[in-house]
Structure 1
Amino acid sequence: MFNSKSNHPAYLVGSGGWLLFSIGIQSNHRNNGSCRSREKYTKEEKEMPVDVRQSLDRTYDSIRTQSKKKKNRFIWKRITAAACALLITGAVLTNEQVRASINDFFSFGDRGIERAVSEGFSQENNSTATDQNINITLKQSFADANKIGMSFQLEFEDSKTFDNDVIKVAMHYRLKNGDGEYIQEFISDTKPLKGKGGYISGLRENNPMLDIKTGIVQYDVVLEFNKGNIPNLEDAVVEIESIILFLDYDARELIKEFGERYDSPVTIIDGKWDLAVANQDESKPVSTIEYVMDDPLSIIQVASAMAKPTSFNLNFSVDQVFEDESPFVFTMKVIDEEGNEYESDGFTIETRDNQTHISTNFPISSYNNSEKLRFIIEDIGEVELLKK
Structure 2
Amino acid sequence: MLNEKKEMPLMVRQSLDQTYDVIRKKSIKKKRTFNPQVIIAIAASACLVVGLGLSNDHVMASINKWLGFDDKGVEQAVNNGMLQEDHHSVTDQGVKIAINDHFSDENKLGLSFQLAFDHPSMLKHVENVSLDYRLKNGDGQYIEEFIPDTKPLKGKNRYTSFFDYQNPLIDEKSGMVQFNTLSDSSEGTIPKLKDAVIEIESINIFDNTGKLKKINGHWNLSLSNNKKAEEMIQYKIQNVSSAIQVLKARSTPTALNIVLSLKGIDKERDEKLPSDMVIVDEAGHEYRIKGLRSVSKNNETIISANFPISSYNQHKKLELMIKGIEKIHLIKQ
Report the TM-score, using the length of structure 2 for normalisation: 0.86
SS at structure 2 position matched to 1:113: helix
Cα contact 1:202–1:225 (8 A) shared by 2: yes
2:243 equivalent to 1:299: yes
Distance of 2:47 and 2:208 partners within structure 1: 10
Q: CA deviation at 1:27?
A: 3.9
Q: CA deviation at 1:178?
A: 0.5
Give the letter aligned to residue 309 of structure 1.
Answer: P
Query: Please, which of 160, 172, 182 is the counterpart of residue 200 of structure 1?
Result: 160
- Taking the TM superposition and a 5 Å limit, the aligned residue runs for 1:109-258 are 109-163=70-124, 165-196=125-156, 198-207=158-167, 209-249=169-209
Give the letter aligned to residue 283 of structure 2.
Answer: E
Identical columns (%): 36
**Greater Cα offset, 371-380 or 101-110:** 101-110
Q: How many residues align?
A: 317
1:161-203 deviation per Cα after TM superposition (whole angstroms, max 9, x unaligned): 110x211211000000101001111112221111125222111
Q: CA deviation at 1:159?
A: 1.0
Give the letter aligned to residue 310 of structure 2.
Answer: S
Give the letter aligned to residue 217 of structure 1.
Answer: V
Query: Please, which of 287, 291, 301 is the counterpart of residue 356 of structure 1?
Result: 301
SS at structure 2 position matched to 1:231: coil
**1:15 alignment partner in structure 2:** none
Give the letter aligned to residue 313 of structure 1.
Answer: N
Distance of 1:352 and 1:369 partners within structure 2: 34
Q: Are the structure 2 counterparts of residues 30 and 95 from structure 1 closer, same or farther at C-alpha, using a change threshold of 3 Å?
A: closer
Q: Are the structure 2 counterparts of residues 196 and 376 from structure 1 closer, same or farther at C-alpha, using a change threshold of 3 Å?
A: same
2:331 equivalent to 1:372: no
Give the letter aligned to residue 225 of structure 2.
Answer: N
**1:42 alignment partner in structure 2:** none
**1:102 alignment partner in structure 2:** 61
Give the letter aligned to residue 372 of structure 1.
Answer: K
Cα contact 1:241–1:272 (8 A) shared by 2: yes
SS at structure 1 position matched to 2:267: coil
Q: CA deviation at 1:79?
A: 2.3
Distance of 2:161 and 2:9 partners within structure 1: 19
**1:258 alignment partner in structure 2:** none
Over the residues paired in the alignment, what is the CA RMSD in angstroms?
Answer: 3.1
Q: Are the structure 2 counterparts of residues 29 and 115 from structure 1 closer, same or farther at C-alpha, using a change threshold of 3 Å?
A: farther
**2:26 alignment partner in structure 1:** none
Q: Which runs of 5+ in 1 are unaligned?
A: 1-17, 36-47, 68-72, 81-86, 250-263
SS at structure 1 position matched to 2:275: coil
SS at structure 2 position matched to 1:173: strand
SS at structure 1 position matched to 2:303: strand
Q: Are the structure 2 counterparts of residues 237 and 97 from structure 1 closer, same or farther at C-alpha, using a change threshold of 3 Å?
A: closer
Report the TM-score, using the length of structure 1 for normalisation: 0.75
Q: Are the structure 2 counterparts of residues 26 and 326 from structure 1 closer, same or farther at C-alpha, using a change threshold of 3 Å?
A: closer
Give the letter aligned to residue 365 of structure 1.
Answer: S
Distance of 2:106 and 2:14 partners within structure 1: 25
Cα contact 1:90–1:167 (8 A) shared by 2: no
SS at structure 2 position matched to 1:330: helix
SS at structure 1 position matched to 2:240: coil
Cα contact 1:151–1:220 (8 A) shared by 2: yes
Cα contact 2:87–2:98 (8 A) shared by 1: yes
Query: Please, which of 35, 42, 45 is the counterpart of residue 77 of structure 1?
Result: 42
Q: CA deviation at 1:132?
A: 0.7
2:280 equivalent to 1:335: yes
Q: Are the structure 2 counterparts of residues 21 and 237 from structure 1 closer, same or farther at C-alpha, using a change threshold of 3 Å?
A: closer
Cα contact 1:239–1:272 (8 A) shared by 2: yes
Q: Are the structure 2 counterparts of residues 92 and 186 from structure 1 closer, same or farther at C-alpha, using a change threshold of 3 Å?
A: farther
Q: CA deviation at 1:206?
A: 1.3
Q: CA deviation at 1:146?
A: 0.5
SS at structure 2 position matched to 1:349: strand
Q: CA deviation at 1:92?
A: 7.7
Distance of 2:160 and 2:331 partners within structure 1: 29
